[in-house]
Copies of this chain bind each other. A is one copy, B any other.
Amino acid sequence: MSGRKESILKAAERSFALFGYKGTTMDQVAKIANVGKGTIYTFFKNKEELFNEIIDQFIQRMKVIAEAAIDENDPFFVNLHRALYEILSFRKEHQFTIKITQEVKEFGTLPAKQALGKFEDAILSFLEKHIQLAIDKGELVKCDPKLTAFVMLRLYIAIVFEWEQRHEPLDKEEIASLFDLYFANGLEKNKKTC
């Protein structure tokens, strides 16, 4: 019969999403996937590689969502906000990343940490690409795209997730206008030469 690899991946994703990396056993994955445990090892070198394959799949899906949020005709900051919002909502709501994030906080499981690192790298390289495009188009002032991507993501996470840990959460429109205020226009009064 075919589809063995797919059913293993499906079962593993489900288990990782429910129980995390540590909490998932290969026996359990085999059982859910209705295969012998040995079969898993014909497709994946070990538990970590199975986990990584699922992460890579997940990142692929994230990329599709991010690119779908970009409209060539819209200005950079509109696209930026839409894309970041979609990506981070997706991440935040998806059981898989919730569980992995929790596991990193609670146990510091190394493969889970590396997974979050991969997510961040994917987001950063997506941002970097679009920042470079915006600079080329003349929409943004000249700046280091890598550093700018890093700062933008950090700022966005601060506004969207960290602020609401101690204050009233901000809605989508507020976030967009804050991003404009802080990042697009700048806070200084009457400085820019036009």
Contact = CB atoms under 8 A, between A and B. Distances in A.
A77 B148 CA distance: 19
Contacts of A188: 76-77, 139-141, 184-185
Contacts of A190: 194
A163 B186 CA distance: 21
A133 interface: no
A59 B147 CA distance: 32
B138 A178 contact: no
A182 B185 contact: no
Interface string A132-143: 000000111101
Interface of A: 76-77, 138-141, 143, 146-148, 150-151, 154-155, 158-159, 162-163, 167, 178, 181-194
16 contacts: A139-B188, A141-B181, A141-B185, A143-B181, A147-B163, A147-B167, A148-B187, A150-B162, A150-B163, A151-B155, A154-B162, A184-B188, A184-B191, A185-B188, A186-B186, A194-B194
A20 to B, nearest CB: 18
Contacts of A178: 147, 151
